[in-house]
Structure 1
Amino acid sequence: MADNHSFDVVSEINQVEMHNAVTQAQHECAVRYDFKGTKAAIEYNKKDEVLTITADHKGQLETVIQVLKEKMAKRGVAVNALVRGDVEEASHDSVREKVTIHSGIDTDDARKIVKDVKQMKIKVQAQIMDDKVRITAKKIDDLQAVIAHLKENGPRYPLQFVNFT
């Protein structure tokens, strides 16, 4: 039996499922009656993890984003991983919005997580490792308490708990 148990706190999404959700949303935008003859479209840059959503007006833009969110939810991709940008005017009287997909834990948020864990007053160690936080303890119950606390009080973007040993 190991002396110490640990897990990593990360923030990432399943890239394959995200691609499938975007593809389904693009297909729905292409065939939906209320989008026929409009500029409603979704472009996905996988490398930069950026979605460019184009529509005729802001109302239609919101509808396209709602379609994307529905497809993401059906495929098990966290909807709150989307970070919306500013709506900007595009060519030919259309609007565009760049939506980024959040991945990794920011340094400031990692510090907040470590601080929150230390304030819990249980015997665990937390350390920042690049874009993840490693939590170590002697008791598995302590680690489960930390997971429950972070699910309740963590940042607004999705967190996953991986490499549980």
Structure 2
Amino acid sequence: MINNVVLVGRLTKDVELRYTPQNQATATFSLAVSRSFKNANGERETDFINCVIWRQQAENMANFTHKGSLIGITGRIQTRNYENQQGQRIYVTEVVADSFQLLESRSQGQQQQQQGQYQGQQGNYNQNQNNYQNQGQQNTVPQQQNQGNYQRPTSR
């Protein structure tokens, strides 16, 4: 069976870092991910996906990210359930991230945060996504041209 998840989005709040009784680091966070299509009103909707990451990756994420950081994660979907204090069975579906990657520099993130562009979730993520899709439709690798001086290397 295949259970693979790859997401790109922005953190909706700072990562919550905790430690288990066995001293294992775990971080929980919510990722805002814009949908690739528009609704009937011509607007893109955003999904808010609950995620968890463990061990050293959890500590790194808590140290190097903040609310609004643009990140990519890879992992898997997992379901679990527990009984709350009122005796009700609670079911949770979340992404268990194996790794994450920062997708913008610290200065870009701070600049956007100051400008308040994290609301709406349609800014740079969708622009970057559209640029990426457009690249797939055109040949973006320039062809090398022989300009007279170019000599093909000889094999030894």
TM-score bracket, normalised by the shorter chain, equals under 0.3
Greater strand fraction, Structure 1 or Structure 2: 2
**Could you say which structure has the larger radius of gyration?**
2
